[in-house]
Chains A and B, each alone.
Chain A
């Protein structure tokens, strides 16, 4: 194998991209896909199979035919019933990628009992994957006493992760072991999957991570599936095999975000205090939702927020559809729910004609008050001070009041500027969800060598240069070493201990703590024991949340990070197209290890969150991603990004660092929609928010 020298690429990280790995005798692999979303698979017949090309089906799987370690059964290759249009039913492997793609495209997939695609209308079905219910107080009775009521449905669209590199994997044999190269958030799961599918011992599999890039939590389990495909093809062809989806394939057939539809009815009492909330949260999980239970518990907590609701009824439902399996997108489903609950709170503030920041702050739970999850807050949330700071920096109160005045007086578009400003607040809690052992156990190994070089091996280590530097600086600080003497090994199952997936900012919240603990342990032994000193540090995710028939259990706020966002928007008076003119974010996330890098990360995430608010949307027709959707899906252009001001609240040196990555996704959309609603003078309740005239006319037609 020759990992081509990274030095030739200039400044790029040293870990190779999957598409850059060259190997002699490499065969390319393409998936043969089901043409319908249901029916029983009879057989797959390739149009022809030239010499040197192979068809691999489920019959070639010697071990387990399903992905291990997940709540749902996801077949490696469908062998019997078909669940979604585009589900892989076979693989074609061979030396020429174009011929392989053509053979896979033209292979005949014979199904029994399949309806023609046009009979499948849209994605949602009524098949329930998971359902949870939480009732606290007397919601029905409280509604009869409510002085103010609002009732609406908020929906968010399906989003594409648009990875830095599309999903893929490469497998090759190294003497008596199989080596997998893939960009994954969860190398241990790839190892487990390949050993289960090939029916071999885990020690016979090695997983080396390739360059991950931006993943937005879309590379948790799907790389394991592709690794199994590559391994099957490598075994069948007795040659190195690579499967690398094209950008369009990735767009149409890899997992997407779960579409959320949130109905909320909320009431205030005669003093305009929170009285009752009834919410139904529906998620379209595609054909199967590997993290449906985790998503529901996050969604349940997120819809309640940190507010004081004495009477609550929350029903959360994960539904199946004919789309690709869906779920995580920059977190596990909280973003769509925070959008709904944040918009609902803004709507309530507007109804009672109160400043949104002061309304939201006075509705917050106070110290020692009990949340419907059962947690009593040990300290008050920092949201009031976040609200105060962000109101000052954005001049929120004055702008909101004047835009509101203009909105009320406006009789036509020509009457004054079409401007709006919105505020939203949210949290990100690292202890949330994922109580299952493989998902919540993390480990890190640190070794101080004889040359006083520190080597760190951890699957949860950051993959980008900035966070890697932050880790090095932190380790060097604890051990009093120069930063250059710290090295972080590339994720490799041969060097790093097994760990859960790198999701939910766990490189900071869990693995970062493991690093600090391991370094502290080395520091204690440094002048007592001979070098080298190796320390393995392990931990589970603390305070996991569960949602059972008894209710939600856990402590969602004990390690939470908090944020508030203000977005200001101006509409073009002729086209009504929205243009954001400023974004302000204020964050309390414990000790910020590198304020400069954290600011850049927050800005990049805010840009993506704005994209989800303004235009990004994958559209389905007849159960499959529309062809035009790929060509019209455009990431937010830097030209459309307003100045983004980021302000971190400094909690002091002793505070533990907490996660920040998902916060912009939790609070920017609701703030944007509130601002756009004020500017447009009409309530908006869907993402992406459409203020422009053209799309509305198009829909009417």
Chain B
């Protein structure tokens, strides 16, 4: 079947079978390799993408389910101004990942800041619990999230003033 959807802001079409998972289509047909097909049971968080603004594990979504929807992968997210807030927060906090969980972790933080401009520690912990990895220490991730929230608040304030 042919599936048409919006991928990182562009209209795209791809041929897929009913058994194809979204993560495989993204990686193999579009070369978007930031999402990793790791556990394939929806628990590791390394394949997280945004579908219509909701954070979902792309290994658990059949590709045909995104027909007509908007999918944003980490590659698309890094082009946004929202990512710039996260990037600055991450650099300020000195958050360093192993490189495998990074896309899921930062998308989770981005999604959190979309829903909560000033997230609490508990909200940050809840958000990053969706990404299983041994590499990061939660305190640094919390610091990165809170710094990113500050950057976003400042940017929004400046934009509103203009």
Contact = CB atoms under 8 A, between A and B. Distances in A.
Given A596-B94, A639-B125, A604 B134 contact: yes
B94 A8 contact: no
Nearest to A639: B125
A528 B139 CA distance: 49
A20 B126 CA distance: 29
Contacts of B39: 247
A637 B138 CA distance: 9
A637 B124 CA distance: 12
Contact of B99 (A17, A246, A603): A17
Contacts of B103: 9-10, 12
A17 B36 contact: yes
A247 B44 CA distance: 10
Contacts of A604: 134-137
B94 A165 contact: no
Looking at A11, A22, A597, A644, the one whose CB has the most chain B CB atoms below 10 A away is A11
A546 B1 CA distance: 65
Contacts of B41: 631
B120 interface: no
B151 to A, nearest CB: 16
A10 B140 CA distance: 19
A596 B34 CA distance: 28
A199 interface: no
B129 interface: yes
Counting contact residues on chain A (CB < 8 A from B), the size range is 35 or more
B36 A165 contact: yes
A466 B129 contact: no
A46 to B, nearest CB: 23
Interface residues of B, number: 43
B40 A247 contact: yes
B37 A19 contact: yes
A527 to B, nearest CB: 36
Interface in B61-103: 74-75, 77-78, 83, 87, 90, 94, 96, 98-103
B74 A9 contact: yes
B34 A466 contact: no
Given A247-B44, A639-B125, A466 B96 contact: yes
B77 to A, nearest CB: 8
A211 B139 contact: no
Contact of A10 (B78, B94, B96): B78
A643 B143 CA distance: 13
Contacts of A635: 132-134
Looking at A10, A216, A643, the one whose CB has the most chain B CB atoms below 10 A away is A10
Contacts of B26: none
A631 B83 CA distance: 33
B126 A639 contact: yes
A10 B31 contact: no
A465 interface: yes
Contact of A213 (B31, B129, B135, B137): B135
B37 A464 contact: no
B53 to A, nearest CB: 19
Given A9-B75, A466-B96, A638-B128, A607 B33 contact: no
Interface in A423-465: 464-465
A11 B102 contact: yes
A211 B99 contact: yes
A634 B134 CA distance: 11
A264 to B, nearest CB: 30
B10 interface: no
A246 B136 CA distance: 23
Given A9-B34, A17-B100, A635-B134, A246 B40 contact: yes
B91 to A, nearest CB: 9
A464 B77 CA distance: 23
B87 A11 contact: yes
A38 interface: no
B141 interface: yes
Contact of B137 (A166, A211, A216, A607): A607
Interface string A629-649: 001001101110101100000
A635 B134 CA distance: 8
A539 interface: no
Interface in A6-64: 8-13, 15, 17, 19-20, 22
Contacts of A641: 138
A450 to B, nearest CB: 32
Contacts of A639: 122, 125-126, 129
Contact of B34 (A12, A216, A464): A12
A314 to B, nearest CB: 32
B19 to A, nearest CB: 9
Contacts of A216: 134
Interface in B8-49: 31-34, 36-41, 43-44
B106 interface: yes
Contacts of B129: 637-639
Contacts of B94: 466, 596-597, 600
B33 A9 contact: yes
B138 A164 contact: no
Given A4-B31, A10-B106, A164 B133 contact: yes
A12 B99 contact: yes
A164 B135 contact: yes
Given A17-B36, A247-B38, A164 B100 contact: yes
A615 to B, nearest CB: 13
B37 A10 contact: no
Given A10-B78, A11-B90, A604-B135, A213 B140 contact: no
A338 B40 CA distance: 36
A213 B133 CA distance: 10
Contact of A214 (B36, B44, B134): B134
Nearest to B74: A10
Contacts of A608: 134
Contacts of A8: 31-34, 75
Contacts of A20: 33
B11 to A, nearest CB: 20
A631 B74 CA distance: 27
16 contacts: A11-B87, A164-B98, A164-B134, A165-B36, A165-B38, A211-B100, A213-B98, A214-B98, A246-B40, A466-B94, A600-B96, A604-B134, A607-B134, A631-B41, A634-B43, A634-B132
Given A12-B99, A603-B137, A603-B138, 13 more contacts: A9-B75, A9-B99, A11-B102, A13-B99, A211-B99, A464-B96, A596-B94, A600-B94, A604-B134, A608-B134, A631-B41, A635-B132, A638-B138
Q: Which 3 A-B pairs have the closest CB atoms?
A: A603-B137, A638-B138, A213-B98
